[in-house]
Structure 1
Amino acid sequence: MDESDKLAEKIGIVVQGGQVTIHTVNLSQAETAPKAAKPAELPDCPYRGLFAFHEEHVEFFFGRDVFTESLVQAVETKPLVAVVGASGSGKSSLVFAGLLPNLLEQGGWCIFKLRPGFPDSRPFHNLTSALLPLSTVPDLDPLILLNQRAKALQEGTVSLRDVVAEILRQAPKGTERVLLVVDQFEELYTLCSQEDRERFVDLLLAGVKDAPCKVVLTLRADFCGQAYAYRPLVDALQDADLKLGSMNQAELQAAIEKPAEKMGVQLEAGLTERILEDVGKEPGNLPLLEFALTRLWDKQQNRELTHAAYSDIGGVKQALADHAEAIYSKLTKPEQKQAQQIFVQLVQLGEGTADTRRLVTRAEISDDCWQLITRKGGLADCRLVVTGRNDQTKEETVEVVHEALIREWRTLRQWIDTDRKKLLQKNEIEAQAKRWSETKSKDYLLQGKRLKEAQVFQKEQTSYLSLSPLSREFIQKSLQKHRNSRLQLIGFGLVVPLGLATFLGFQIQRQIVIRGAWETVEKAKGQRDSPVRIAALQELVKL
């Protein structure tokens, strides 16, 4: 190759077989830039942190083989199965990464998943969204279609059996059974109305009785009392609730070591035993374990998880709380107040049960707080909250990443415990405002004592307990309705006395005329043909 050929190649011109090809080349980089050493990249993390395992994570799901087998057998033989366990015991992961992959491998199943309180607190709408994806109907708004279908299910004009039959009719050949997974069934008791609650349960029970449909529920153990207070559900779950206990040592060891082994990463000698000792036997510690392993993964050295890194993150017990506190401490003072307002709003306070997370819409969050949630490096980026979107209403949503954060983060617990009574009142107003916003019906507006209490709360609470823009609008609309009602009453009150006065005035005048006529008649008593007497008698006849 002569010098001209070398220069042509250097500037990106290649001549071959009479064909000329031109490539773009940065001459300065081509001449002077040394080849940069590719940084060593961490292998993908196999742990799930505070999120549940799903079907796509099955290769990293370990430690629940026994319960998975029991659940598969239960679903094969029973129409309704409830997976019951403490918060953080791994109920959702067992169903999604244990049961479902097994059923999908069998074939013949059509599987649907929903949460009764997500993306809003209307379980029939959420069920409709899961079972009947909104198809395109000319000249019909998708929201109208959703409402029509949900109403049909709610009122019983369409049964679950009808829906299942239509699903199987359209399903691929060989599909014979439908499985409906109702995850976080306790949301039915924390977020939904009692009327919707019982109707929804009745719909499910009728569906598994009359159709080739199976239902699997996941239910927090501390809500069994509320769930089992409804006799039809208790009867249906006789010998059909799988109680999910804590993992034993061997199962926990598999959950710690095997995902790392699959990614070619080892744990330093003795680290597994140290982690196991910290985890203990509490079933609710699984999210804390997974979160600690996720943090530990990011600090690995030469594909090894070390004791030093484990100490640095605070271990299983402190990793999550320390992470949350570290994020909070880096915020400015105004941002810390916003964070406080956000987190207390994302907690559904329990009455006789543990506090749970609460899904909140964008309309319930102020602009400044939403900015703190969604900005780069904000609360969502730091995995303290999870944002989402309601596909039907197009509303953005946010919720606490896991209820373990509510239990373990001391700062959040202090906020909740200090103002628990006020928070209960605030959450009640916010919940009423949300129900009103879904329909804009005047029937949901406040009145009487509740309206007065909401006004007082709005006036007094100007700190982190201040009401959302939606709730303030809700109170304003309630006041407008109250004022309009008073004006109507006042108008009615004025009309009645005025009418009464007119009527009485007429009667008095009539009596005066009658009395005068009779006096005329009396005076002309001896004058039968007197014109005055005759006129007076005629007047009396008219009256």
Structure 2
Amino acid sequence: MKALQAMTKYNGKQKIIFYNNLGNNWQELADYFEIPNRHQKQYPQGDEAREIWAWLEQNARLDQLEPALKDIGRPDLAAKIHSSGTLESSPEPKKISGTCPYIGLRAFTEDEAVLFFGREPEINALFDKIITGRFLAVIGASGSGKSSLVRAGLLPRLRQTENSRGWEWLRFTPGEVGDNPFMALSAALKPVLEKLGMTPREMATQLQQRGNIDEIAEKYQLQRPSATQLVLFIDQFEELFTLVDENYQQRFIQLLDQAIQSPYLRIILTVRADFHEHCLNYTALARLINCGAWHLASPDISSLSQMIVEPAKVAGLQFESGLVGEILRDTGTGSGALALMAFALEKLYLACFPNTTLTLQAYRHMGGVSLAIGRYAEEVYRNLEPPAQNALSDVFAELVTVDSERRVATRKRADFATVAKTAAARQLIDAFIEARLLVKNTINEIDAQMHSCATKIIVEVAHEAVLTHWDLLKEWIDVRLNDFCLLRQVELETTEWLRNNQSDANLWPHERLQQVYAMQQKLQPRLSAQALDFIRPEAERLLEKLNDSALTHQQRERIGMRLADIGDPRPGVGVDAAGLPQVEWCKVPPGRIVLENDAGTFNVDAFFIGQYPVTYKQYRAFLEAVDGYPDERWWIDLQHAPEPGEQYQTVDNHPADRVSWFDAIAFCRWLTFKLGYAIRLPSELEWQQAATGGCTENVFPWGPVFAPMYCNTFESGLGRTTAVGLYPQGGSPVGALDMSGNVWEWCANCYHAPEATDATRNACQVVRGGSWINYRVVRGGSWINYQEESCAVFRFRYTPGDRNRSLGFRLACSSPIIRTPEH
């Protein structure tokens, strides 16, 4: 009778004996156990014994089988079952009343082995495998209990076995110390560092470079003669692929391959089944796993029954009739069922405490196995204050990652201080930790600067079941799944970019980066400095390249075209939010100007000049405005052509071309009205002062000698305009660009009377060859002119109505803060 009251488990042979020998007594046995008639009627003919056995398992009544067989007149069958094979029994377990015997979502520890049931065959199999081999990989679905099996099953068994005494265990996960598994291993080896005379940083570096864990294990064994074996238990090995920098993955696998060559080392790892394929992508790891893999199946009904009933016995608890069967039916044997059942049992105990009877009413009230975790998480969340509820996105953005290939969300660890950066986030985290939905742990972390090992507090989701069974969080993840995938891709591509010496070929284009920036707005992730550098805007990188004096004209032109394609971000090149030209002003100091060919010497007051020629995008704002080009207000005393000139290079960041002097003056009048301060064309005196900075030695804006790579003149060979500002080396002393080449720039004054800037159509008429000629000055040369015509002092002229492919203009003002009377 004692054997029947103790923990009972039948082997396969005993089941077969029961199936083959019960015969027509099945009806009597079913009635003995009061199995409902509706169930009996559904039994397939010939399989009645099998159906009864399954019912007894589900309702945790197999311990009553042998007495029942005797009561219905089949003592022979009871004796045959009892004597066949081995009926495993153990002494009545020690009671631990007042303590919850169920651990919920977290994994068992070695100290909780007394509560670990239902995995005896698996423990035996693992024991045989690790005793006879040096590498063991426990592979199973998320929530199948891999970590618990090793920690509370295999490890205690090894400690109790004579030939494995003296084995010492070190447990770590690949990603528990940043993204470097060598640091995680070094942190686990902390107890032996001092005896080996090494700092954690030295240990990590040595392991990474040499992979000499076998040598370290041998030294460790010499320091501790009683330690015959060092067992490295690498838990949650999938972190090697989800959290670890790719630069370390291959090297760490090589370390494992070298480790099993040592007579002092054994390796045990647990890995999720959905990452098995990742493991096979590495030759050395595939070889190890093919020899040492052990696949953990989900527990069957019999094992689940033991997991429910036996811990309750240890704690002195009992179940209301029918409750165990209902829990088993709700749980099923699918992937992840074990974690949900464990959570439900923990909540059931707490709901019934201090009573020692677990009731159906309490179980059903909390939603059973399938709904318990979601309802509980939602209850904890709803009890938070609104600010803490609103912190959910900030918190879980740090605690969730995805396998971008399979698009499956997984948990990740995060620094507690970083995640709990606000009072609201701290409140949410504390509440979920108290509810055991989040877990806070202290880990060892290597300080690279101090060459020491320090402690760090991390937080993580207790189990992935929280991610999949809490509807609110599941919906939150689903909405952001693409963003999480993109975030993971950024991390992986950053690693690849660094591996390739930051090659431009690995950088993402502007269009793809826009998706990254949108993802950042949603997730607010903490990215490494390297990742932030990787996702720098393409335009920012292109503009930096312009500072390279070795660039060819063709390369500069391509940069300009690409900037136009993606939206040139430079101030002064485009328009503002209101669609008006946005001008960057350069301050020009006063000075004294000498015009060439004895055209005169003049004083120039301080003023401001545009950094760039007016661009096509800016000029088009005038052309397309209802009150722009067609509005006669801007054309008083000017020649107003019915249609504007047809732009030669229709690219937004190129200079406006085919612009007459009249067109430029009308533009200035329109923009003055729009911006509220006086905008005009510069006089050629002002233009020359801006181009030379007042230095008479500056024949060109950059100095006395022509530099063919500093400007777009005929010498460039391009034969067309380029985007403005592509030659920063050719800038003038005041910061104005393109004052040599690209397009001629209209000036306000008459060619034959430099001091005359009257903006009327006939103000500059002079007699030449018997005809009245009206000339206005242009300066700076163009893409079609040689260097001599593109110097800072060269004067040229066109009639004010001329429009051609090389004519543009630049703006000037006395002060951009002095408003006109109308404003």
Aligning the two structures, in what range does the TM-score lie when normalised by the shorter sequence? 0.7 to 0.9
- Structure 2: how far apart are the matches of 1:447 and 1:341? 33
Aligned length: 451
Residues 407 and 481 in structure 2, CA contact (< 8 A), matched pair in contact too: no
Matches within 5 A, 1:301-450: 302-350=355-403, 351-352=405-406, 354-362=408-416, 365=419, 367-368=421-422, 371-373=424-426, 378-392=431-445, 393=447, 394-429=455-490, 449-450=507-508
Residues 38-53 of structure 1 aligned to structure 2 (within 5 Å): 43-53=98-108
Deviation per CA, 1:401-430: give whole Å up to 9, x if none: 111111212222211222322232345557
Match of residue 151 from structure 1:
205
Relative to structure 1, the CA distance from residue 337 to residue 256 in structure 2 (aligned partners, 3 Å threshold; closer, same or farther) is: same
* Pick aligned residue for 1:189 from 209, 218, 241: 241
Greater Rg, structure 1 or structure 2? 2
Q: CA RMSD in A?
A: 3.8
Deviation at 1:304, TM superposition (A): 0.8
Percent of matched pairs sharing the same residue: 30
Query: Are 2:419 and 2:425, in contact at CA under 8 Å, matched by a contact in 1?
Result: no
Cα distance change of structure 1 residues 205 and 449 upon mapping to structure 2, 3 Å threshold: closer
Deviations along 1:242-276, whole A, 9 cap, x unmatched? 11112122211111111111111111111111111
User: How much does 1:349 deviate?
Assistant: 1.4
Decide whether aligned partners of structure 1 residues 503 and 405 sit closer, same or farther in structure 2, where only a CA change above 3 A counts.
Answer: closer
Cα offset, 1:231, TM superposition: 2.2
Give unmatched runs, 5+ long, in structure 2: 1-95, 448-454, 554-699, 709-823
- Determine if the alignment matches structure 1 residue 89 to structure 2 residue 166: no
* Contact 1:178-1:214 within 8 A present in 2 as well: yes
Contact 1:363 1:468 in 2 (8 A): no
Deviation of residue 432 (structure 1)?
A: 8.2
Q: How many Å separate the matches in 1 of 2:518 and 2:247? A: 33
SS in 2 for 1:398: strand
Which TM-score applies when normalising by structure 2? 0.50
Contact 1:364–1:469, Cα closer than 8 Å, also in 2: no
The CA deviation at 1:468 is: 3.9
CA distance in 2, matches of 1:381, 1:447: 49
User: In structure 2, do the counterparts of structure 1 residues 364 and 481 end up closer, same or farther at CA, with 3 Å as the change threshold?
Assistant: farther
The offset of 1:227, in angstroms, is: 0.5
Contact 1:359 1:399 in 2 (8 A): yes
Q: Within 2, Cα distance between the matches of 1:425 and 1:209?
A: 40
Return the offset for 1:239. Answer: 4.2
Give the match for residue 219 of structure 2. Answer: 166
Is contact 2:397-2:524 (8 Å) kept? no
* Deviation, structure 1 residue 148: 2.0
**2:261 counterpart SS class:** helix
Deviation at 1:330, TM superposition (A): 2.5
- Does the alignment pair 1:114 with 2:114? no
Is this contact kept in 2: 1:89–1:246, CA < 8 A? Answer: yes
SS of corresponding position for 2:232: strand
Name the CA distance, whole Å, in 2 between partners of 1:46 and 1:479.
Answer: 53
Which residue in 1 is equivalent to 2:252?
200
- Structure-2 separation of matches of 1:227 and 1:159: 22
Following TM superposition, by how much is the alpha carbon of 1:194 offset from its aligned partner in structure 2, in angstroms? 3.2
Deviation at 1:312, TM superposition (A): 1.5
Q: Structure 1: where are the runs of 5+ without partners?
A: 1-40, 505-543
2:343 counterpart of 1:291: yes
2:288 is matched by which residue type in structure 1?
A
- What CA distance in whole angstroms lies between the structure 2 residues aligned with 1:364 and 1:470? 12
Equivalent in 312, 315, 318 of residue 266 of structure 1 = 318
Relative to structure 1, the CA distance from residue 216 to residue 377 in structure 2 (aligned partners, 3 Å threshold; closer, same or farther) is closer
Q: How far 1:163 sits from its partner (Å)?
A: 0.9
In the alignment, which of 163, 176, 180 is matched to residue 228 of structure 2?
176
CA distance in 2, matches of 1:236, 1:475: 37
Deviation, structure 1 residue 195: 3.3
Structure 1 window deviating more from structure 2 (377-386 vs 465-474): it is 465-474
Would the alpha carbon gap of residues 129 and 280 (structure 1) be closer, same or farther in structure 2, given more than 3 Å must change? same
SS in 2 for 1:168: helix
Q: Which residue type is aligned with residue 75 of structure 1?
A: I
- SS of structure 1 residue aligned to 2:408: coil
Alignment of structure 1 residues 60-75 onto 2, 5 Å = 60-75=115-130
Deviation at 1:209, TM superposition (A): 1.6
- Give the secondary structure class of the aligned counterpart of 1:162: helix
User: Matches of 2:427 and 2:384 in 1, distance apart?
Assistant: 14
Q: Which amino acid aligns with 1:263?
A: A
Which residue of structure 1 lines up, in the alignment, with residue 276 of structure 2? 224
What SS is found at the alignment partner of 2:380?
helix
Question: Secondary structure, in 3 states, of the residue corresponding to 2:444?
Answer: coil
Which of residues 144, 157, 160 in structure 2 aligns to 1:105?
Answer: 160
Tell me how far apart the structure 2 counterparts of residues 471 and 451 of structure 1 sit (CA, whole Å): 20
Shift of 1:100: 0.6
Residues 135 and 292 in structure 2, CA contact (< 8 A), matched pair in contact too: yes
User: For structure 1, which segment, 95-104 or 355-364, has the greater mean C-alpha deviation from structure 2 after superposition?
Assistant: 355-364
Mapped contact 2:137–2:271 kept (Cα < 8 A)? yes
| 1:467 corresponds to | 524
Deviation larger for 417-426 or 103-112: 417-426
Give the drift of 1:500. Answer: 11
Distance 1:473-1:184 versus aligned 2 partners, 3 A rule:
closer
**Structure 2 residue 189 is the aligned partner of structure 1 residue 128:** no
Maintained 8 Å contact 1:426/1:467: no
For the Cα contact (< 8 Å) 2:508–2:535, is it kept in 1? Answer: no
